[in-house]
Amino acid sequence: MEVIMTIRNDAYSLKHVVTTQQFDTNALIRFIFPLADRMREAVKMGGNTLLAGQRMISWFEEPSTRTAASFAMSMAQLGGEVSFATDNASQFSSRAKGETIEDTFRILNGYHPNVIVSRFATAGDAAKASKISKVPIINAGDGNNQHPTQALLDLYTIQKKFERCNNLKIGMVGDLHNGRTVKSLAYLLGKFKKISLYFVSPLSLRIGDDIKIYLDKHGATWSEHEDLRDIADQLDVLYMTRIQRERGSMLTSAELEPGKFSINKPVLRLLPKEAIIMHPLPRLEEIPNYVDGDKRACYFQQAENGLYVRMALLTIILAPIHIPRLLNM
Ligand code: CP
């Protein structure tokens, strides 16, 4: 894969963001996360002008609240602009008439944006678009495949809470067959040391073998479970996800039992005091509202962190000249 971000001899470059496998741990720890910290400070000061004159196309073929809004606000905070945005491109663009993803991105390239952020309805379309696009593309989720910027903000949140990305026990719960955030995060975590992943899902919604093979290859340990209560007491991070009804997933009445694939009071009692509860959101019944008051719940902070991480990524892609100054290098 040519779309990479690696750090060698302090050289860095990033064009398209398509998957999480393209990032190495050094890039995350030395560049993206410290830059996200700088962006948090910049937002407190009212933003900056690092991306003045830069234009984004925001192309979403599936619904979004967090990803679309935080990318748009990232451009605003950095002094750039979203010049064209469509939030239902599957229905209101010429994709609805059968235009291919390749032709669509050829055309969008011709209007000279500086970056295109896109949520694709079909798994694999982000890779297809990146192959023909001269303009940087950021994958904002492609079908049930990947959601790399979500995984970056997830790991940033973990790093802020634990001050490490190694030596962690993480339970991932819910629709692991369709959960692109879980897949992207598992690929990313697999690059760190002493990672144990506990996949908790109904048999019909298990995570794919590709992830398990990757984790084996990278020395991470993993196990599969059908009841959250069996492993809740072992976790540093409880990463909940919803059942993706829009992709045909559903639970049987037995699987709907509280505590099995959802948080209830017994799960909260089992979960260690220092653990954190995460969720990419939107949440459904898997996190009842009363959990919001638990000091371990950090999913709203996690969503806010998306702004800082996406500002950092846009700066690396569009204004890398500013990085040495921002990071005191
Ligand atoms: N987490 C996430 O991707 O949320 P949205 O679908 O609202 O963007």
pLDDT tens digits, 99-131: 999 999 999 999 999 999 999 999 999 999 999
Is 44 among the catalytic positions?
Answer: no
**pLDDT, tens only, 299-329:** 999 999 999 999 999 999 999 999 999 999 8
Mean pLDDT of 231-256: 91
- Structural fold of domain 6-147+304-326: Rossmann fold (3.40.50)
Closest residue to atom 1 of ligand 1, CA basis: 280
Instruction: Return the number of other C-beta atoms located less than 10 Å from residue 36's C-beta.
Output: 25
6-147+304-326 and 149-299, same CATH topology:
yes
38 belongs to the catalytic site: no
Burial 254-265 (b: 16+ CB within 10 A, else e): ebeebbbbbbbe
Active site residue 66: yes
pLDDT of 5 reads 61
The reply to whether the predicted model has a pTM over 0.85 is yes
**Looking only at Cα atoms, what is the longest distance across the chain?**
56
Q: Which of 8, 44, 97, 217 is catalytic?
A: 97
Using a 6 Å cutoff on CB, does residue 91 contact ligand 1? no
Could you tell me which CATH class the domain 149-299 is placed in?
A: alpha beta
Is pLDDT above 50 for 254?
yes
Q: Starting at the earlier edge strand, list the strands of the sheet with 55-60.
A: 81-86, 55-60, 115-120, 137-142
Query: Could you tell me the distance, in angstroms and rounded to a whole number, from the CA of residue 70 to the centre of ligand 1?
Result: 10
Q: How confident is the model at residue 3 (pLDDT cuts 50, 70, 90)?
A: very low
Domain boundaries, the chain: 6-147+304-326, 149-299
Of 55, 66, 160, 191, the catalytic one is 66
Rounded to the nearest integer, the mean pLDDT of the chain is 94
Helices (H) and strands (E) in the chain, counts: 12, 9
